[in-house]
Amino acid sequence: MSKELGKKRGTKLGIGLAGFGTVGTGVWETFQKNAELIANRSGVEVDIVRIAVRDITKSRAEGVAAEKFTTDWNDVVSDPAVDLVVELIGGTTTAFDIVAAAIRAKKPVVTGNKALLAERGQELFALSREYDTPIHFEAAVAGAIPIIKAVQDSFVGNRIESMTGIINGTSNYILERMTEAGLGYEEALGEAQQLGYAEADPTLDVNGWDAAHKAILLATLAYGFTIDYNQVYVRGIERVRAIDISFAKSLGYVVKLLCVVREHDNGMIEIRTQPSFISQNHVLSSVNGVFNAVAVNGDASGESLFYGRGAGKGPTASSVVADIVEGSLGINHGGSHRGFLPYEDKGQLMPIEDTETPYYVRFDVTDEPGVIAKIANTLADAGIGISGTHSPVNAENPDADFVDMVFQLHTCKFGLLKSTLKDIEKLDCVNSRPVVFRIENIV
């Protein structure tokens, strides 16, 4: 950051907020409560001088002067009293305009907008480099867990070999209730909505994209190049059913929506998000409710686990405030750039077809002689090994003509499995599309 922007230590910095909803009010309340503590620890004093909102008549947090509010975000960015801009409105359109305008005005940006950075980060990071003005985004991943700073700073001396995480609390809560209380998917989702853990429209949570956006940001930090989100494999929890939860438990696993980021020996980067089987003995299996956890494996550090609340007013505001302090320190001291800048011109993502794990595959089949042999022969012809087969007895209808048949498969490439399953679907005894879960061997 250019030195002419620097201010003397102790100078109160002006903060502009774009958005004053749950997180925005949390940021205001945190500074009202802990301003002296923050100043004593960091030497940073701030004043929230301008706040952009959609509806200026809406009731707000107590103690906020009416003259601070505006319905035009340009008033925030252009105000000469604003030194740092905080974007908290969400989305990828107006939010992009706000962040881009702030960078062009050489005002550091703090954002918790994972979708914006995952989908349009390439443009914004290019602007950040051009104007030498940082973007701070700790709040974009895992709420109060300081995973961004850890990957960016604490692991600076490591090659990140892998990161494996549970980073969507809504899906994690739904899967926990299906596992522990025996609820069906729709029932567990409804409960999550009633408790405020899921939005009225929970699409981005349950279809995996909220978690995937966060995984993309972590991968961007770890490997230094911007990632095209269109190339990332994402599946959600919508097709998880009670029978899969039950099978997982009986086989010694739990089902979690898991984000996997991994560097391979050939330099390719694997990024994927999907419901997966993980061992009941692994520490991630005990991450329940709306909590998040990320396991980071560095070549020097070994494995470290980060755990905490992944969302909510207080946890997210905590990370936003930390970034405001970080950005303010950069302004105060000048000459340093503490936000993220890509440091590699390019990288290569591993095609999802080339990724390898063992698998759980459930088939809806007609109960007739030879079913196992037909499926097994097709798998064998493709060179895919079988580690076990299972078929539950339907106590409610033991004479049913249709049953669920489960195959546990040895490690193979996902592309080979997909093409083989297409052949198996053509068998007369298979009644619907097979259900596939990866069995993760987490280090």
- pLDDT score recorded for residue 334: 65
The C-alpha atoms of residue 323 and residue 42 are separated, in whole angstroms, by 12
Task: Note if 68 is an active site residue.
Answer: no
- Does domain 157-309 sit in CATH 3.30.360.10? yes
Q: Is the pLDDT of residue 395 over 60?
A: no
C-beta of residue 143 within 8 angstroms of C-beta of residue 310:
yes
Q: Is the pLDDT of residue 2 over 50?
A: no
Alpha carbons within 13 angstroms on the beta-carbon side of residue 248 total 30
- Tens of pLDDT, residue by residue over 68-88, are 999 999 999 999 999 999 999
- pLDDT score recorded for residue 336: 55
Average of pLDDT values for 25-46?
93
- pLDDT score recorded for residue 337: 57
Q: Is the pLDDT of residue 391 over 80?
A: no
Q: Is the pLDDT of residue 286 over 60?
A: yes
- pLDDT score recorded for residue 392: 61
- pLDDT score recorded for residue 9: 47
Give domain 3-143+313-333's CATH superfamily: NAD(P)-binding Rossmann-like Domain (3.40.50.720)
Structural element, H or E, at residue 316: helix 313-333
The average confidence (pLDDT) of the chain is 90
Share of the chain above pLDDT 90, in %: 72
The C-alpha atoms of residue 370 and residue 376 are separated, in whole angstroms, by 10
| Confidence (pTM) | 0.88
Q: Where are the domains of the chain?
A: 3-143+313-333, 157-309, 352-439
The C-alpha atoms of residue 167 and residue 151 are separated, in whole angstroms, by 15
Average of pLDDT values for 253-281?
96
- pLDDT score recorded for residue 22: 87
Q: Which of 161-175, 197-211, 350-364 has the lowest mean pLDDT?
A: 197-211
C-beta of residue 99 within 8 angstroms of C-beta of residue 116:
yes
Q: Which of 114, 149, 214, 256 is catalytic?
A: 214
- pLDDT score recorded for residue 398: 52
- Give residue 1's pLDDT band: very low, low, confident or very high (50, 70, 90): very low
Average of pLDDT values for 223-238?
93
Average of pLDDT values for 256-273?
96
Q: Is the pLDDT of residue 104 over 50?
A: yes
- Give residue 294's pLDDT band: very low, low, confident or very high (50, 70, 90): very high
- Tens of pLDDT, residue by residue over 13-35, are 999 999 999 899 999 999 999 99
Tell me the one-letter amino acid at 83: D
Question: Tokens representing 139?
Answer: 């709040």
Q: Which of 36-40, 169-173, 343-347, 432-436 has the lowest mean pLDDT?
A: 343-347
Average of pLDDT values for 404-416?
95
Cα 142 to the center of its chain, rounded Å: 7
- Tens of pLDDT, residue by residue over 116-157, are 999 998 899 889 989 989 999 999 998 889 999 999 889 999
Share of the chain above pLDDT 70, in %: 93
- pLDDT score recorded for residue 402: 65
Helix, strand, coil distribution of the chain in percent, nearest 5: 40, 25, 35
Q: Across 150-154, 245-249, 357-361, which has the greatest mean pLDDT?
A: 357-361
The C-alpha atoms of residue 223 and residue 331 are separated, in whole angstroms, by 27
- Give residue 98's pLDDT band: very low, low, confident or very high (50, 70, 90): very high
- Tens of pLDDT, residue by residue over 188-225, are 999 999 988 888 889 989 999 999 999 999 999 999 98
- Tens of pLDDT, residue by residue over 307-316, are 998 878 888 8
Please indicate whether residue 358 or residue 6 has the higher confidence score (pLDDT).
358
CATH topology assigned to domain 352-439: Alpha-Beta Plaits (3.30.70)
Report residue 64: phi and psi, to 5°. -90, 120
Q: Is the pLDDT of residue 396 over 80?
A: no
Identify the DSSP state of 399: T
